[in-house]
């Protein structure tokens, strides 16, 4: 009998199991910054609803990056 559902593809990105929480948040913030830049640059070449979607995506990414930055601030020792 043949399989109806194929095996999922191998992951493109795997986080090292020794990655600390703080390093993971720093990496998340960096990835989100790159994603936001990509969305903003893409939006510049679009019009109408497609431009609105790209701008909305950039806005959502920026909100997530703000939360990641806040999480990092929470990890900093209080002076």
CA-CA distance, 55 to 60, in Å (whole number)? 9
Percent of the chain predicted with pLDDT > 90: 56
Please check the confidence at residue 61 and state whether its pLDDT lies above 90: yes
pTM of the predicted model as reported, rounded to 2 decimal places = 0.72
Q: What is the 3-state secondary structure (H, E, C) of 8-19?
A: CCCCCCCCCCCC
More confident residue, 78 or 13: 13
pLDDT at residue 5 in the model? 77
Torsion of CA 53, 54, 57, 59, to 10 degrees: -100
C-alpha pair distances (Å), 46 with each of 50, 58, 74: 6, 14, 38
- Residue 55, Cα to own-chain centre: how many angstroms? 15
């Amino acid at each position: 009998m043949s399989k109806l559902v194929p095996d999922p593809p191998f992951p493109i990105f795997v986080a090292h199991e020794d990655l600390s929480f703080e390093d993971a948040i720093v990496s998340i913030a960096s990835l989100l910054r790159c994603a936001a830049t990509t969305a903003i640059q893409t939006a510049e070449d679009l019009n109408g609803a497609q431009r609105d979607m790209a701008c909305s995506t950039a806005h959502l990414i920026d909100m997530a990056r703000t939360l990641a930055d806040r999480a990092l601030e929470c990890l900093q020792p209080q002076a």
